Structure formats: C-alpha cells, structure tokens
C-alpha cells in the first residue's frame, strides 16, 4: 500500500495527465506499472489473470505522472452494441478502475472518460448510449452516482427502466455470474476484491454519505468480491451537468491556490 500523503485538495494534482490508449499500443513497461498499482489495492490477483482480462478490453484510460512518466492509475474500457427488445443501443463498459491514493480527488480520469463518451455519442448521435459500470467498492459507485442524474441502482429507486440494460450486459459479458435476486455479480470464492484497508465503509461514513450506505445495502458482500452492476444514461443533460461541475471545481482550485499564494507571500514578508 502506498504510504504517500493523500491529495485532499480536490483537483490540485497538476502533476498527472489522463489519456485514452488502445490496448494494442500499451507497452510492456506500462502493463507492469498498471499491475503494480492494481496489486497495491486488490487481493487475489496475479499477473496472468490481469493480462488475460486486459486483452479482452479495447482500450485504457492511463493516468501518468508528467515528469518521469509513470502509470499511477487506469480505467479499462470496452464499447459494445446492445439490442434490448427492439431497441438498438450502445454501451461503454468501465472495467477495473484504480488510482494511487496520493491522487484521490483528481477529476482528470472523469474528464478523459467524458471525452471518450462524447466521441462515442457523436459517432451514433441518434442511438441511446449507456455507461456500464461494475463496482467492487463505493468509490467506483460514486463516480456514477455523483456525476449522472439518470442512473441505476438509485438511492431513491429512480430509473427502474434501466434495470433491463443491467441484466442485458451482465448476461452478455458475465454469463452465469449475475444473481437477479440480489442484483449483484458473484464470481465465487477467490474473486478479486479490495484489500481490507482500502475504501473501508464505517458507520460514520454511512451516516454522513447516504449514497455509500445505499451501496452497501445493495452489495453487502462487496468485501468478498461481489460487484454491483450499474448503468448511467449518457445524454445532453448529463454531459452539461458534468462539464459545469468540473468547471466549478477548477475555479475553486484556482481560488484555493491563489489564497495559498497570498498567505505564502505575507508569511515571507
């Protein structure tokens, strides 16, 4: 586990960059660095399984340091066509998503992923587009719950019409592992799962953040490796709201930096 000081200043991590990269263009060195990050935070992992899973993906959003480039996080991606009933749609599936603790709080992964979603939407502007996400822990769930209005499962039981999308992609991508009664993906004993000290859910956290409490209610065995499948509808309102949120965060970080600079100057007088 990384022992560096966590980044708690919002999107203040200007020393990193996030960009999409097709799997076939990822170097062996980068794959090793990706696994090193993954292994820090997940139990029941091995390099062979990691590489097999990566080979099934189309691309990865890589998060690298600017100086002495090193992979410090990533999110794997698969885009797929879906036909649910008579409706043809498109899904963008996020697989393993992890970032080193030092950079928790950055929005650069979300921005890079938004750009990917926009490109997918522009290719097929009249076809419904969904973000497909499975959550081993609450932080991944919050990526969707905090940035999308129309998503499922929802703490207020909203958007039940998205449940068929969840069932469709789970059956297509993980045949035999979706439990419709519990609404989770169960990969059995020995499944990869977050290490105990990573993203632990405390009583205080559940009380302060209702969405985290809801995540654990939906997936009470998350610490054993069961995953909560989620879906978010990608539309103009979702994209606009996210852009506004990123902009507000950017302005806030600039103000914080400015105040810090003033204080440093005053202290130096």
Over residues 40-69, the pLDDT tens digits come to: 888 878 899 999 999 999 999 999 998 888
Q: In what order do the strands lie in the sheet with 59-65?
A: 16-22, 59-65, 71-84, 87-99, 129-135, 228-234, 151-152
Q: Tell me what pLDDT residue 9 has.
A: 37
Q: Please compute the mean of the pLDDT values over residues 230-248 and round it to a whole number.
A: 79
pLDDT exceeds cutoff 80 at 142 = yes
H-helix or E-strand spanning residue 83:
strand 71-84
Which tokens go with 229?
A: 């499948």
**Whole-number Å distance between alpha carbons of 170 and 176:** 9
Q: What are the residues facing 42 on neighbouring strands?
A: 194
Residue labelled with tokens 């203040």: 12
Distance of CA 238 to CAs 42, 63, 93, 129, 139, Å?
A: 31, 23, 17, 12, 19
Selection from 16, 18, 198, 1 nearest residue 103 by Cα: 16
Cα dihedral 147, 152, 154, 158 sign: positive
Q: Tell me what pLDDT residue 196 has.
A: 59
Residue labelled with tokens 């965060």: 249
**Whole-number Å distance between alpha carbons of 149 and 240:** 11
Q: How far does CA 213 lie from the centroid of its chain?
A: 18
Q: Tell me what pLDDT residue 24 has.
A: 94
Over residues 8-26, the pLDDT tens digits come to: 334 445 689 999 999 999 9
Residue labelled with tokens 């205080």: 204
Q: Please compute the mean of the pLDDT values over residues 104-132 and round it to a whole number.
A: 89
Over residues 145-194, the pLDDT tens digits come to: 988 889 999 999 999 999 999 999 999 999 999 999 999 999 887 767 66
Its pTM stands at: 0.81
Q: Please compute the mean of the pLDDT values over residues 256-263 and round it to a whole number.
A: 51
The fraction of the chain above a pLDDT of 90, given in percent, is: 53
| 225 touches 164 (CB < 8 A) | no
**Whole-number Å distance between alpha carbons of 60 and 20:** 6
β pairing state of 16-22 and 184-185: unpaired
Distance of CA 207 to CAs 127, 146, 203, Å?
A: 39, 17, 6
- The span from the first CA to the last CA of the chain, in angstroms, equals 40
**Whole-number Å distance between alpha carbons of 199 and 106:** 16
Residue labelled with tokens 């799997």: 23
């Amino acid at each position: 586990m990384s022992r560096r000081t966590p980044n708690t200043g919002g999107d203040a991590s200007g020393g990193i960059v996030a960009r999409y990269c097709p799997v076939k263009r990822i170097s062996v060195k980068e794959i090793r660095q990706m696994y090193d990050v993954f292994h820090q935070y997940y139990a029941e992992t091995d390099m062979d399984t990691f590489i097999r899973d990566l080979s099934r993906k189309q691309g990865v959003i890589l998060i690298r340091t600017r100086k002495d480039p090193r992979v410090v996080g990533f999110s794997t991606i698969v885009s797929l066509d879906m036909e649910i009933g008579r409706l043809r749609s498109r899904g963008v599936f996020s697989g393993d998503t992890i970032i080193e603790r030092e950079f928790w709080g950055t929005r650069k992964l979300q921005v890079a992923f938004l750009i990917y979603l926009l490109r997918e939407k522009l290719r097929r502007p009249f076809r419904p587009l969904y973000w497909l996400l499975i959550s081993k822990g609450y932080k991944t769930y919050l990526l969707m719950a905090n940035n999308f209005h129309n998503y499922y499962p929802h703490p207020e039981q909203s958007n039940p019409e998205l449940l068929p999308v969840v069932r469709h992609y789970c059956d297509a991508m993980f045949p035999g592992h979706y439990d419709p009664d519990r609404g989770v993906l169960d990969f059995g004993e020995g499944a990869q799962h977050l290490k105990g000290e990573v993203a632990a859910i405390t009583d205080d956290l559940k009380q302060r953040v209702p969405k985290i409490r809801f995540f654990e209610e939906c997936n009470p065995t998350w610490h054993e490796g069961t995953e909560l499948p989620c879906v978010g509808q990608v539309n103009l309102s979702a994209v606009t709201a996210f852009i506004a949120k990123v902009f507000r965060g950017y302005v806030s970080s600039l103000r914080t930096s400015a105040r810090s600079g003033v204080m440093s100057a005053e202290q130096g007088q």
